Amino acid sequence: MTDQNPHLSEANGEGSFQLYAAHKKIYPARVKGLYRNLKWLLMAVLLGIYYLLPWVRFDRGPNAPDQAVLVDTLNRKFYFFSIEIWPQEVILFVGLLVCGALALFFATSLAGRVWCGYACPQTVWTDLFVMVERWIEGDRVKRLKLDQAKWTTKKVFKKTTKHSLWILISLATGGAWVFYFVDAPTLVNQIMHLEIGFTPLFWILFLTGTTYLLAGFAREQVCTYMCPYARFQGAMFDNHSLIVAYDEQRGETRGKHKKGDSWDNRGDCVDCHRCVAVCPVGIDIRDGQQYQCINCGLCVDACNEIMDKVERPRGLIKYDTLHNAVARSRGHLEKVDLLRSRTLIYGTLLVIFSAIMVYFLAIGRQLVELNVIHQRNPLAIKLSTGELRNTYTIRIVNKDTQNVSFKLSVEGINNAHVTVMHAAERKDINEPILVPASKVRTHKVFVDAPKGSFKKQNDVRFTLIGSNGQSDVYESVFLAP
């Protein structure tokens, strides 16, 4: 891999390096082709999902919000259609993150930085901003000339229009993000009536600012200098991973070519620099594999356009593997090896973790949770009847979307008498404990044991069974002073 980091570029003579290089603005040119179309399609799908998802409604019954995807910070719950994740289930988030990371590793081992080139938010929003820039200021050469030109009314108008549109997109992006954390129609209503609270306003403005700066100005520098994934992804691909590569053997010796000239004793590269002009990170893929390359395939489209024009076969730049590049140069057979240890390991782990997550989210999720806290002060009370009483606080979490009646039982001490306090009212153990949908209830519980039925320390087990068939148990102790 060629290191073309300008910060480490050789300056004046051997061993002398500049640690700083000024940013050079990149003016990616318009290109048409398969990979560009794929990027447009993905961009439309991803942006569509991002902006529209907070407006999708999902009926969870009368006691729950009807926004399909909602991070309810107030009640500390995450809703995703029929899935409702409680704070106690943070492990599920960890599982989802692990699945996401494994999917990324798997995709990288197959096709290098495709995530960076096609689906990363930084790439998608930069593409959108460049598209707006192109609409208003024109393609590469026109933009270059406009930036070098003196300030005129026309230039001020174009720049103002572009930045206004960028700010509007940024505002919509920041706003959409906040809609995932509050009820979207309610927040819009608050915004319309200038009643928005400080926290949502702060986040909308903060995200508007970061979107404007990162997609409008920082662009490829985020991928090159800021993103940690760009730095360690090299460890995830090998000689058989698909990367965008220039076929040096076929392309060299490069040089200008006029129609009708012979192609003998020369390469197919006509040195038109079209592949460099379209590159969003501003590199020349003909210099070899470089860490700045995000595998977007735009130089493939650009070079294919040129090859069609000069009537040479397509694929001078293409998705290729390092293995095949070496095989070609040695006259060996090329092959695409998808099933290799790296892809098999990542793929298998991804399937296993995804299956576990699907099981826990769809079938095996515990909808009831019981916690029992033994009251320490006093540890036990001797009643006038001669019985010994221990007091507990039970906490019942009903994660179901329906109201549930629970029955509590206690095992471990013979003939123990159990009383559940419902608010200030004392009720018998047989009285069901009603917990509304998606709610938590706490109750005081007395366990009274007859004289002679207990030791100094006794293990007891509380069992909670719900009318929805869900149950939970909690091991505790019954103590004598």
Q: Which two tokens stand for residue 361?
A: 């989210």
Which stretch, 10-18, 293-301, 438-446, 471-479, contacts ligand SF4 (CB under 6 A)?
293-301
Classify the phi-psi angles of 423: left when phi > 0, otherwise alpha if psi is within -120 to 50, otherwise beta. left
Tell me how far, at minimum, the Cβ of 6 lies from ligand SF4, in Å. Answer: 16
| Contact of 215 with 43, CB cutoff 8 Å | no
Q: Which residues pair with residue 480 across a beta bridge?
A: none
Nearer to ligand SF4 (CB atom), residue 36 or residue 443: 36
* 286 binding ligand SF4? (CB under 6 A): yes
Within residues 307-346, the interface with ligand SF4 by CB under 6 A covers: 316-317
Q: Which two tokens stand for residue 127?
A: 């593409």
Nearer to ligand SF4 (CB atom), residue 136 or residue 281: 281
Cis peptide upstream of residue 378 (ω within 30 degrees of 0): yes
| Contact of 293 with 113, CB cutoff 8 Å | yes
Q: How many angstroms separate the Cα of 237 from the Cα of each of 117, 164, 227, 340, 342?
A: 15, 41, 17, 11, 8
Tell me how far, at minimum, the Cβ of 256 lies from ligand SF4, in Å. Answer: 10
Q: How many angstroms separate the Cα of 142 from the Cα of each of 30, 137, 145, 150, 411?
A: 12, 7, 5, 14, 82
Applying CB under 6 A, among 104, 275, 361, 418 the residue interacting with ligand SF4 is 275
* 242 binding ligand SF4? (CB under 6 A): no
Applying CB under 6 A, among 64, 99, 176, 294 the residue interacting with ligand SF4 is 294
* 372 binding ligand SF4? (CB under 6 A): no
Contacts of 245 (CB under 8 A, 6+ apart): 285, 289, 317, 318, 319, 320, 321, 322, 325
* 274 binding ligand SF4? (CB under 6 A): yes
C-alpha to C-alpha distance for 223 and 125, rounded to whole angstroms: 13
* 120 binding ligand SF4? (CB under 6 A): no
* Count of residues of this chain found to bind ligand SF4 when the rule CB under 6 A is applied: 29
Tell me how far, at minimum, the Cβ of 281 lies from ligand SF4, in Å. Answer: 5
Tell me how far, at minimum, the Cβ of 20 lies from ligand SF4, in Å. Answer: 23
* 214 binding ligand SF4? (CB under 6 A): no
* 43 binding ligand SF4? (CB under 6 A): no
- DSSP notation for 33-61: SHHHHHHHHHHHHHHHHHHHGGG-B----
* 297 binding ligand SF4? (CB under 6 A): yes
Strands 439-449 and 417-422: what pairing? antiparallel
Tell me how far, at minimum, the Cβ of 172 lies from ligand SF4, in Å. Answer: 27
* 281 binding ligand SF4? (CB under 6 A): yes
Which stretch, 83-91, 92-100, 267-275, 379-387, contacts ligand SF4 (CB under 6 A)?
267-275
Residue ranges binding ligand SF4 (CB under 6 A): 244, 246, 251, 269-275, 278-281, 283, 285-286, 293-299, 302-303, 306, 316-317
